[in-house]
Chains A and B, each alone.
Chain A
């Protein structure tokens, strides 16, 4: 019963937040200067009042803003995000097209970031002030500070262009055609097709952009893991456990790491939310047709329905991730469950 109440509360909270985000983004997009007609019609077409009128009527731009808002909210309640002014396709189907590419890359990147971030953080903490610790700290600072577009060009230049170790931009090599869309994630869809070489090819294309995207979050995770583990290691219960003769490995894995990971989960959650919003520059350099590129093109075209669609998607990402992180807190630390 408690759990149902908790879930219900969360869902209502989610709906209210989404409504607020939709309203806020709608108002903001209407307030900022930018005319979709000028952005999308050619110079010739803009001189033809008939063409301009037909265009405005088609996208409801000839209606008063309040009417546009009411229509928008009404459609939103029916899960209709409107039609993209740039591509003339439903925004929902456009997001469904480009979101899986972003999810695939974001999940890969966060997995890399979490695995290596925690590993490096632990190594750094248990070898505190050693050369290894200094090295790990230097790597994590670099990861946090390096501009992603520059890092992207750098890894592409060396590992693809010069050394031919990893495949180049895009989601698949030219020798493969895109798998039939089931999830939209090429690795998974290729496996569902039963085509292992294609799945491995898709996986190999994730490595460079995934590493670039992982760098920032990995740096944060490493630093957070290290500092929290050091804090936990100096607590009384760890000292007691050590006095009882527990081995260092058992001490860390069974007693210290669990508690140290709670703040790390928050960092991972925020990092994933950030990655799921799409990364314009990295997506551009690696020809990754994800949400970032879609958002960028939409902004350039003053494609308001798409901009609002992307904003809602990003808000939804954070809300879902925060909910999952809240639940995971309870899994890791029973005290949170009790509260």
Chain B
């Protein structure tokens, strides 16, 4: 009887095991053939010539309403479902006309006139007119959400006819074309959005109710339409049947939210996904040499920087220009690149490599501990000094800022600077202190709001970030004046010349050290072509084809 009871128990265990394995086998067979609901989707390589591409991204988002988007990944979806007057077709290129046919600046650079292309239709079948453009930009402005700043230099707009939009600017703005590529200024189908409670009125921040609709459906003219969105899980995009342009051969995208890099590596290897956007150095190593998988390691324009407050009250010894120079000389930029991973680089100065006008990279030989010690002695700290380095809990493209802080501490110990790392959560004090300019010495990152070198002008004296380092325009009036000079230079050659002057001026001086440009690691299935790193869109799905 004892044996019989044990036999029954063991049989139960085995039966449960068989049921479990059965589930897996069942799934595998379906993935392979796509039989049961093959038309519903596809699983990367497992479906061979399928027209579906599965992309994994590392984080969910709060909204897909273009009027509110500012997070990293929504532009991927907005760029697929909506279009802007201008677009970046190349990550390192200049903005090119998309919905715009022609454009022209007035002589005083205060007016921009844009003509729309003919025959543009929204996914709804409605024809796009200049009224839709006005509605979309005014709505973004008046919603007063995170991206509202993007339209700051647009004083007013008018639409003299159905195809023409005239922008009146508050000041010459050499970045206006780049700003018009930003997802928040995507052109919406105003009829559809109004039908769902949208408004571009001045009180839109309290009266517009279209966000709920735009979080579940798209209302644009892009190559794809959003057919499903399950928050924190997946977004499904299907080809827009009314697309006016030339579409790629990808019929459908399934965008999966996969926060863990190991998970992305495994799902890419097994063919469950086709593109993994958030790999890490470790997971890339696992993929190296894997059959059917291609990898990209390249620098993004997100930059990690050291900030030394110019105000002695907060900065203490690091407000001393000689100490700043010593710190700049002492940092081991090559070592930081190793910490951040393959693809990382150190920009020459304040303009990241890849931007128009950038002077490229800072030479590795710049680091010189002996010169740094001499500079420190010149500053009156021959015996070294003690300083607090405040660091937040944020990460820069997956790299913890605390890791960078540890490296800085280690590097500065070589010249006698004893760094005490002080951790402070971003939302619990650090953010306020950073914004108020009361942090003395910190390491932080800066993600580009829009893809244009002018975003870096905020680091100039008197700029938004400059002031956070206590660097007022009065402290360096010549450099501060270059802000306006750059803004007014709508000619690219003129702008490049000013940007180069700024970089040279901040190469060895000032409160900021641009330490690293963070890398992006993308893995993708070799059945695809056109996969590339994209700063403005994270991944431009409208350029991807299946081989």
Contact = CB atoms under 8 A, between A and B. Distances in A.
Interface in A230-270: 247-249, 252
B40 A33 contact: no
Contacts of A171: 233
Given A51-B145, A87-B63, A169-B258, A178 B6 contact: no
Contacts of B149: 44-45, 47-48, 51
Contacts of A203: 23
B9 A177 contact: no
Given A175-B34, A197-B37, A54 B144 contact: yes
Nearest to B44: A174
Contacts of B234: 170
Nearest to A50: B144
Contacts of A247: 1
A248 B44 contact: no
A115 B43 contact: no
A173 B30 contact: yes
Contacts of A168: 263, 266-267, 270, 272
Contacts of B428: 32-35
Interface string B112-149: 00000000000000000000000000000000111111
Given A87-B62, A164-B28, A38 B37 contact: no
B100 to A, nearest CB: 25
Q: Which of B21, B212, B232 has the most C-beta atoms of chain A within 10 angstroms of its own C-beta? A: B232
Contact of A156 (B28, B145, B266): B266
Contact of B42 (A38, A54, A175): A175
B84 interface: no
A1 to B, nearest CB: 43
A160 interface: yes
Given A89-B215, A197-B30, 8 more contacts: A35-B431, A45-B145, A86-B62, A127-B6, A176-B40, A197-B26, A201-B30, A204-B24
A198 B37 contact: yes
Closest CB pairs A-B (n = 6) = A204-B23, A33-B428, A38-B431, A39-B427, A174-B43, A289-B232
Contacts of B230: 178, 289
A55 B70 CA distance: 15
B144 A51 contact: yes
B160 to A, nearest CB: 30
A160 B40 contact: no
Contacts, number: 221
A55 B146 CA distance: 9
Interface size class of A (residues with CB under 8 A): 35 or more
A173 B272 CA distance: 8
Contacts of B270: 160-161, 164, 168
Contacts of B63: 87-88
Interface string B204-224: 011000011001000000000
A54 to B, nearest CB: 4
B179 to A, nearest CB: 12
Contact of A44 (B27, B233, B266, B464): B464
A175 B426 contact: no
B30 A46 contact: no
A122 interface: yes
A153 B265 CA distance: 12
Nearest to A156: B266
B16 A115 contact: yes
A300 B394 CA distance: 10
Interface residues of B, number: 78
A123 B6 contact: yes
Contacts of A169: 258, 263, 267
Contacts of A164: 24, 28, 270
Interface in A118-140: 119, 122-123, 126-127
B312 interface: no
B236 interface: yes
Q: Which of B23, B41, B68, B259 has the most C-beta atoms of chain A within 10 angstroms of its own C-beta? A: B23
B435 A47 contact: yes
A116 B266 contact: no
A33 B425 contact: yes
A301 B431 CA distance: 13
B375 interface: no
11 contacts: A40-B62, A47-B149, A157-B262, A168-B272, A173-B43, A174-B272, A197-B26, A197-B37, A249-B4, A285-B263, A293-B232
Contact of A248 (B2, B23, B40): B2
A305 interface: no
Interface in B6-37: 6, 9, 12-13, 16, 20-28, 30-31, 34, 36-37
A18 B507 CA distance: 60
A329 interface: no
Nearest to B266: A161
A177 B231 contact: no
A44 B146 contact: yes
Interface in B511-540: none
Nearest to A252: B5
B38 interface: yes
B276 to A, nearest CB: 12
B484 to A, nearest CB: 19
A294 interface: yes
Q: Which of A44, A157, A201 has the most C-beta atoms of chain B within 10 angstroms of its own C-beta? A: A44
Contact of B27 (A33, A204, A284): A204
B257 to A, nearest CB: 7
Contact of A249 (B5, B263, B425, B464): B5
Nearest to B434: A43
A166 interface: yes
B378 interface: no
B54 interface: yes
B449 interface: yes
Contacts of B22: 204
A176 B23 contact: no
A173 to B, nearest CB: 5
A35 B431 CA distance: 9
A47 B54 CA distance: 38
Q: Which of B31, B429, B464 has the most C-beta atoms of chain A within 10 angstroms of its own C-beta? A: B31
Contacts of B233: 170-171, 178, 287, 289
A284 B2 contact: no
Contacts of A34: 425, 427-428
Contact of A177 (B5, B44, B228, B464): B228
B26 A204 contact: yes
Contact of A176 (B41, B427, B432, B449): B41
B254 interface: yes
A98 interface: yes
A123 B13 CA distance: 12
A200 B23 contact: yes
B1 A51 contact: no
A285 B260 contact: yes
Contacts of A170: 233-234, 256
A51 B9 contact: no
Contact of A119 (B4, B9, B31): B9
